[in-house]
Amino acid sequence: MSYFSPNVNTGGGNTGEKSIWSPVSDSIQSPLSDVTSRSEQSKKRGTNNLHRPWRHSISHHHLAHASTSPSTTTVRQFNPGKQRLRLFIAAGLSWLVTVFFCLVLGLCLWGFSQLLLMKVWQVKMFNALIVLASLWLGNNLSGSLKDYALMARWRFLAMKARPIREADLLMHCESLRKVLKLLWTARPSSGWGISTTQLGCIVWLSINLALAVLVALLGLTYNIDTSLYPELRYGLVSIAKLNTIRDVWGAENPSFSAQLGAANSFGIQGQDYNFTDGPVPGQDGLHVWGSPYTPNIYANEDWTEMRYYFMDLNTENPNLSVLSKRYVAVHGNCTQYPIVSGGNGTNTRITYTDLRTNENVVLDAVRVGPGAVTYISALNSTCGPRCSEIFALQSGGDDIITEPSFYHCNATITPVQGLEYYTSAAENATAAKEYELPDDQARIMAGAIGWTGFNFTADDQYQYVRYTVDSWWSPNNPTNVSQMAGHIMEFAIEAVAALDNNGDRILTQGWYPVPSQIVNVEWKWAAILLAVIPGLHLLAMLMVVSWAGKAIIRDESCISVAKLWRPILGRLGDHGCLLTGDEICEHLGDIKVRYGVMDGFSRSGSRSRENDIAQGLRFENEIVGPHVRHVGMIEENDLAGDESAATGGIRRASIWQKTQVHFPEGLYDGAGYAEAGSSEDTDDDSRCRRKLPKTVCVNDRRIEMRQKLRLRRLRKKGKA
């Protein structure tokens, strides 16, 4: 078996002719190479086969049965089953990467969708993870499909003889732009129908497009909406001014009497606010948005305590408020005192018995009416620093309320609770005090239901407010102790709520609300896409590896590809170093090539096997065996019968006839172009008398001389 490659005769004394085919001396190992080193090289290569699934190696079976040491380092064994296994493992790893990134995307969507609010850094992290995972997924899919295209091209090239331009496009089928160009180039010559190559291009483009679209559609399965819960940031915040009870339309520095009247006005404003007896939201976990236009007041189950939680506003957008953890509570109780005289709704003076001293006390109620309730707040309360004493008279004299009733009540407003979260973050003590409700203002708010802001006489220690009959504060039915205490507490806490909602506000250091985001996922479609993407990837992998694995898959190395095309491009000789691919195709003409297998030539006639080996026409040994096939790009013979190219035509025709559609298991070695020898050529110089370039004969002799020199060196080493 002989090996030839394009070469230039540079030896002295020649005519300067250039040979297209000359022996490839650099691809042949010395006939006396050591078997042990050969085996060790094979073992070293075996460790990287999974990383380079296209790499083939010599079987240890041939090494074990070798009776002599000669071998060639360029011979490789092709085993379809092992190649397919290596391809499946390599492709399977890329598929596992796809599964991994799909899981990452699914976990990101699930994890962040569980958050009821996302802060800015969490939104950025979510976007970064989704973008990076999508990019990695897309890149892995793109890279995997390119690898599959590089596998499939060898099967396509082996299917039939193709024009060299079409074969060149197939060699670059990892580029979708080249696939589109191939789709047009591979159209049938008749102009009708669709070729197998075009069908493959359409399928491959569809798979690439489908996977790209599926990855892009993932972005439509989720959206980032505004959360139902605010995010808190530290800075300037708007809070109620609690050290002054002032109507926004009143004087800047109201007097004490003006603050009394303003407290009653705030109580009237707050009578339409919501009362809730359930748990207070936003206290144990996430904060909740405030409701500045309809504040909520919270009471315990038996309505003996009522709380109001202050709202903090965003200074730049007052419509954004948060329900804080700060609150005040009001407690109240009443005692019914017996009426000795009066109270019929026409006489302002009543006489009642004070149960604390068991003395009769005369009180001028001033404002009374039949069936109406008059609330009387005392300026000289002694029940505590944050407590007010309130008297309540329900006058008799109408058809429903026939008998009057008189009550003595106490209402107390607690200090602001939950300040630790705010005062600990305050920059100084002054800022911390701005969150507090002073004692004087607490007493004013506690007795708000009975304040008018003025006294009828200079020394009068009471102020009187009569409410309309059938109103909430003056029910048209006989009252009792608990009902009266409830009304007084409600009015007081409503006044505090109205002050927070409609009163003066100040700016201080604290936690202000800003909108936060939340991830809403359409899990139905997200789950489908995250399952279809790896499923389609797996389908493409199985199809390509199973179908393309029947051919010998070569690696994508430019050097390997150059070796493959060397017999075809050798026609150009030393010319055309700057030609483009299209120009090379034009120079080569309308030849057709196919990727296929060629059997090695077995010479017959008087020429012996040993003589062939000695002449450099055949390099084989016990390790390689008597039958070595060759794989490469083979030219279809379109020149049969042309006398002017008889020799070359016969050579190419013989090779083409020996080409096999399938790639059988066995040993392979290079391109393997050889001329068909004659049985009458028995002497060593007969090849030079045939119509072969002179460089072939010269290079054959050079190989023979090198072999002799190697034998002499080895013999000398043996004697030593």
- Tell me the pLDDT tens digit for each residue of 329-349: 999 999 999 999 988 888 888
Residues 676 and 650 sit within 8 Å (Cβ to Cβ)? yes
Tokens of 452: 């008018």
Contacts of 188 (CB under 8 A, 6+ apart): 194, 195
Question: What pLDDT digit, counting tens, does each position of 110-128 carry?
Answer: 999 998 888 889 999 999 9
Q: Is the pLDDT of residue 656 over 50?
A: no
pLDDT computed for residue 426 by the predictor: 59
Residues 332 and 409 sit within 8 Å (Cβ to Cβ)? yes
pLDDT computed for residue 42 by the predictor: 43
Confidence of residue 13 (pLDDT cuts 50, 70, 90): very low
Higher pLDDT, 601 or 288: 288
Tokens of 244: 């002054």
Q: Tell me how far apart the alpha carbons of residues 3 and 382 are, in angstroms, rounded to a whole number.
A: 120
Residues 622 and 68 sit within 8 Å (Cβ to Cβ)? yes
Average pLDDT of the segment spanning 217-235: 91
Contacts of 630 (CB under 8 A, 6+ apart): 597, 598, 599, 600, 668, 669, 670, 671, 672
Q: How far is CA 265 from CA 181, 248, 498, 571, in A?
A: 84, 11, 9, 106
Contacts of 448 (CB under 8 A, 6+ apart): 263, 264, 266, 267, 377, 491, 492, 495
pLDDT computed for residue 416 by the predictor: 94
Higher pLDDT, 32 or 374: 374
Confidence of residue 283 (pLDDT cuts 50, 70, 90): confident
Confidence of residue 703 (pLDDT cuts 50, 70, 90): low
The ranges assigned to domains in the chain are 4-30+567-719, 84-227+520-548, 231-515
Q: Tell me how far apart the alpha carbons of residues 603 and 682 are, in angstroms, rounded to a whole number.
A: 11
Higher pLDDT, 459 or 652: 459
pLDDT computed for residue 165 by the predictor: 87
Question: What pLDDT digit, counting tens, does each position of 344-362 carry?
Answer: 888 888 999 999 899 999 9
Tokens of 186: 């591979």
Confidence of residue 430 (pLDDT cuts 50, 70, 90): low
Q: Is the pLDDT of residue 685 over 80?
A: no
Average pLDDT of the segment spanning 277-293: 85
Burial class of residue 608 in the structure, from the number of CB atoms within 10 Å of its CB (0-12 exposed, 13-18 middle, 19+ buried): exposed
pTM given for the model: 0.65
Range name among 83-87, 137-141, 397-401 with the lowest pLDDT average: 397-401
Tokens of 661: 């559609």
Q: Give the torsion sign (CA, 49, 53, 57, 59).
A: positive
Range name among 241-245, 420-424, 664-668 with the lowest pLDDT average: 420-424
Contacts of 638 (CB under 8 A, 6+ apart): 590, 591, 592
| Residue 487: half-sphere exposure toward Cβ, Cα within 13 Å | 23
Q: Is the pLDDT of residue 697 over 60?
A: no
Residues in the chain: 720
